[in-house]
Amino acid sequence: MPRTLKLGVNIDHVATVRQARLAAQPSPLEAAQLCMAAGADGITAHLREDRRHIQDADVIALSQAGLHLNMEMALTEEMVRIANTLVRPQSCCLVPEKRQELTTEGGLDAVASLDKLMQWVPVLKSAGIAVSLFIAPDFAQIDCAKQCGAEFVELHTGSFANAVSASEQAAELDRLAKGAEYAHSLGIGVNAGHGIDYENIKPLLAAVPHLHELNIGHSIIARAIMKGVGAAVADMLELMQDYAGE
């Protein structure tokens, strides 16, 4: 039975290790190639405004290597210019950024950012870049994704991943399922990501329909430290194999 659910592996944490010593290794490009060889469908890399991990040269190298690149980026003129003129990724995911955060802490407020989205999403699409919004599974946010012309939403799964009780987890899964159903009804593709790991992926897949792609980074890279990148990706793909969300 062919696997229908796609896996995008986020390699930011490979660059985090490299930047700790400002060294050449570990190479995000080499890690990306190993992920793809192991069966991943694409690579996600977040070029942050503060350049704390992934660098401009990384996303350019990933693009030039012919890998399917999903570039995470803030909704700024600088990032749109880099994506359109230097990188030309197959897709981009628009995310919020705070300088003081450890990692992306929540979804983009598409309602508050609608004017910018209406300005920049068409520019990205005109370069042949598929656009996704990293948002909470709220109907108002999904409506804005539809209004600005984004082809995908990436539902923020962090609240589900951080749930501390069974009832809280169930409530978050219900929100995600309803958000996925609503986005699908509007003709928007549904991706998901943030905090997905080898333990919580099964309840997520059992509850949330219409998923097109999961973007997973930290848990795969953490396991890769112990088991190797190929084995870590293969382990995740095995857990995704039987998804039947349609």
The phi, psi pair for 25, rounded to 5°, reads -125, 150
pLDDT at 184 (0 to 100): 98
CATH annotation of 23-240? 3.20.20.70
pLDDT at 3 (0 to 100): 67
Q: Which of 190, 230, 233 is nearest to 214 (CA)?
A: 190
Three-state SS for the chain is CCCCCEEEEECHHHHHHHHHHCCCCCCHHHHHHHHHHCCCCEEEEECCCCCCCCCHHHHHHHHHCCCCEEEEECCCHHHHHHHHHHHCCCEEEECCCCCCCCCCCCCCCCCCCHHHHHHHHHHHHHCCCEEEEEECCCHHHHHHHHHHCCCEEEEECHHHHCCCCHHHHHHHHHHHHHHHHHHHHCCCEEEEECCCCCCCHHHHHHHCCCEEEEEECHHHHHHHHHHCHHHHHHHHHHHHCCCCCC
Give the active site residues. 46, 72, 194
Rounded CA separation 25/95 (Å): 27
- Domain boundaries of the chain, sorted by first residue: 23-240
Q: With a threshold of 0.95, does the pTM exceed it?
A: no
pLDDT at 183 (0 to 100): 98
Rounded CA separation 219/195 (Å): 8
Rounded CA separation 149/51 (Å): 28
Amino acid identity for residue 191 in this structure = N
Written as tens digits, the pLDDT of the chain (246 aa) is: 566 899 999 999 999 999 999 888 899 999 999 999 999 999 999 999 999 999 999 999 999 999 999 999 999 999 999 999 999 999 999 999 876 555 556 789 999 999 999 999 999 999 999 999 999 999 999 999 999 999 999 999 999 999 999 999 999 999 999 999 999 999 999 999 999 999 999 999 999 999 999 999 999 999 998 888 898 899 999 999 989 887
